[in-house]
Amino acid sequence: MTQHLAAPSTGTSDDAPGHRTGWWQDAVIYQVYPRSFADGNGDGMGDLAGVTARLPYLRDLGVDAVWLSPFYASPQADAGYDVADYRAIDPMFGTLLDADALIREAHGLGLRIIVDLVPNHSSDQHEWFKRALAEGPGSALRERYHFRPGKGTDGELPPNDWESIFGGPAWTRTVNPDGTPGDWYLHLFAPEQPDFNWEHPAVADEFRSILRFWLDMGVDGFRVDVAHGLVKAEGLPDLGAHDQLKLLGNDVMPFFDQDGVHEIYRSWRTILDEYPGERIAVAEAWTPTVERTANYVRPDEMHQAFNFQYLGTAWDAAELRKVIDISLDAMRPVGAPTTWVLSNHDVTRHATRFANPAGLGTQIRTPGDRELGLRRARAATLLMLALPGSAYVYQGEELGLPDVTDLPDEARQDPSFFRAEGQDGFRDGCRVPIPWNREGTSYGFGAGGSWLPQPAGWGELSVEAQTGVEGSTLELYRAAIAARREHPGLGAGADVEWLDGPEGVLVLGRPGFVCTVNTTGAPVRIAARGRVLLASAPVTVDGAEAVLPADTTVWWTV
Ligand code: NOJ
């Protein structure tokens, strides 16, 4: 339907075995959370028309691509990660024509578009699942999901001991068409998100067809939701552990990171490669180790995988160095670029994580020291953008937005808040609609209200308030991304060179640059490394010496 971006940049090159070149190798990719980015029709909910109208802002920010979280037809039990129709747009976000216009407009501005693909589960309102329930036991459609009889004398117990990521059992019992209690179905997330059975050929066929549908629409790639979850261990064995949620991410689980998932991605890669313009896939794969993450980006699988180990790292020089090394080492053998990400729609924004003491994880409920958090967040971003590979920016982080930690319970919409008795459930705090203007209804988000309440003072963080203001976080992001474009050396390759520096200070060499990062809470005197290209806070250079303020990153050209 739409024209595809014709001439992708050649990106970077490298001698690493299997290394591929392409636009995505060192791309800066901006995540749009459509509900909260811009509201085109004034109903208080962001939409595709709103995104399209704001694309020039993203072009000016300098990013290469935009990843949009789901906008498909959905009852919104999990903010659109419960898809009822993979080929339709939810009316709250617009129409297929709006999607077409968005893709065309983006391409016209030189921006690529990545859409979210949700293959682990559908909505319980998906046609297959509705019919599977309505047809009752024995329905062939039930084989496309995981239906099982319960345990116990009367099938009253779930088929195994798995828990939902959102809390509570991972199984829900059905009611037969005649009103009697029936079989159970598996849902690793909310009960409204039944897991597909990927052993069934119809499921695999359907997703190959969905891929083609969106590739024909002109999208440049897919962010693959729960890429580690599609295949479950044979027989759905009990886990036998008492605190499953604590285990998540540390062990191979019978429902996560099974080797069988890779066959699926190999088949998808052949489809992506049939299309011109280097269409990509990026895995959302939570795995026990970065080495296991690397399996998803072998040369015949996906192109990128999110680096959640990096996202979870504290603001600490030694920890950061370790995770950077581990990440680069893990990706080198498979020739894939490393990715870097600090925030997304599932975790507390990094300005708030870094405002709080280390070790609290990625779901934080306290605002902490906001000034400290912002200072560190700006420094962390400059470090991220100096690393080789591709970087992801979550909408609003370029404004230095903190999480909104005091949302009233009645405003919350995240299903994990309702199911998990407070264990997680704070994802709404990073999803509050972003401020475009200083004043006005919803600070320029739209002509109506805002589906989550915006805090007082939000307008002072707006795009309007920061544009053209020297030292603002927005101008820092613009300058940093522009510098990455102007000096491809910054994102290129697969290595960093560690240079000596004082305790708590990282000094890393990049082609033509040195990046110095003071993670300590006090100013540190260092040898000046050349000419200051960019700094997250004012730096004083005095001849051959420089004073790095506390929690500050400086890029030097050498
Ligand atoms: C990961 C998504 O990022 C998250 O928002 C969602 O709740 C789960 N996958 C389930 O789809």
How far apart (Å, rounded) are the C-alpha atoms in residues 71 and 92? Answer: 9
Closest CA to 310 of 429, 394, 392: 392
> Would you name the residues annotated as active-site residues?
225, 274
**Strand 505-510, strand 497-499: pairing:** antiparallel
At residue 241, the pLDDT reads: 65
| Residue 39 in contact with ligand 1 by CB distance below 6 A | no
Tell me the per-residue pLDDT of 357-385, one tens digit each, with 9 for 90 and over: 998 888 898 999 999 999 999 999 999 99
Mean pLDDT for 47-68 is 98
At residue 277, the pLDDT reads: 95
Cβ partners under 8 Å of residue 108, min gap 6: none
Cβ atoms of 340 and 390 within 8 Å: the answer is: yes
Distance from Cα 217 to the centre of ligand 1, integer Å = 24
Q: Write the DSSP assignment of 189-212 as a string of letters.
A: S-TTSPBB-TTSHHHHHHHHHHHH
Mutate to test the pocket of ligand 1, among 32, 82, 121, 225 (most ligand atoms within 8 A of CB): 225
Where do the structural domains in the chain lie, given as residue ranges? Answer: 23-120+201-481, 127-186, 496-557
| Residue 189 in contact with ligand 1 by CB distance below 6 A | yes
Summary mean pLDDT of the chain: 93
What is the residue type of 68?
A: L
Q: Is the pLDDT of residue 6 over 50?
A: no
Query: What is the SS3 assignment for 82-97?
Result: CCCEEEEECCCCCCHH
Mutate to test the pocket of ligand 1, among 126, 195, 226 (most ligand atoms within 8 A of CB): 226
496-557 belongs to which homologous superfamily?
A: Golgi alpha-mannosidase II (2.60.40.1180)
At residue 17, the pLDDT reads: 35
Record: fold of 23-120+201-481: TIM Barrel (3.20.20)
Which neighbouring-strand residues pair with 540?
547
Backbone angles phi, psi at 174, to 5 degrees: -95, 165
At residue 8, the pLDDT reads: 38
| Residue 78 in contact with ligand 1 by CB distance below 6 A | yes
> Which atom of ligand 1 lies closest to the CA of 81?
11
| Residue 355 in contact with ligand 1 by CB distance below 6 A | no
Cβ partners under 8 Å of residue 38, min gap 6: 46, 47, 50, 51, 53, 54, 436, 445, 446
Record: fold of 127-186: Oligo-1,6-glucosidase; domain 2 (3.90.400)
Burial class (CB in 10 A: 0-12, 13-18, 19+), 131: middle
> Which atom of ligand 1 lies closest to the CA of 189?
10
Topology alike, domains 127-186 and 496-557: no
- Whole-model pTM? 0.95
Q: In what order do the strands lie in the sheet with 545-548?
A: 524-527, 545-548, 540-542
| Residue 226 in contact with ligand 1 by CB distance below 6 A | yes
At residue 5, the pLDDT reads: 59
Instruction: Please name the residue whose Cα sits nearest to atom 11 of ligand 1.
Output: 81
At residue 426, the pLDDT reads: 76
Structure tokens at 162: 């798995």
Q: Which helix (H) or strand (E) holds 30?
A: strand 28-32
Tell me the per-residue pLDDT of 252-270, one tens digit each, with 9 for 90 and over: 689 999 999 999 999 999 9
- Band (pLDDT 50/70/90 cuts) for residue 7 is very low
Q: Is the pLDDT of residue 24 over 90?
A: yes
> Which atom of ligand 1 lies closest to the CA of 118?
11
Tell me the per-residue pLDDT of 445-472, one tens digit each, with 9 for 90 and over: 999 999 999 999 999 999 999 999 999 9
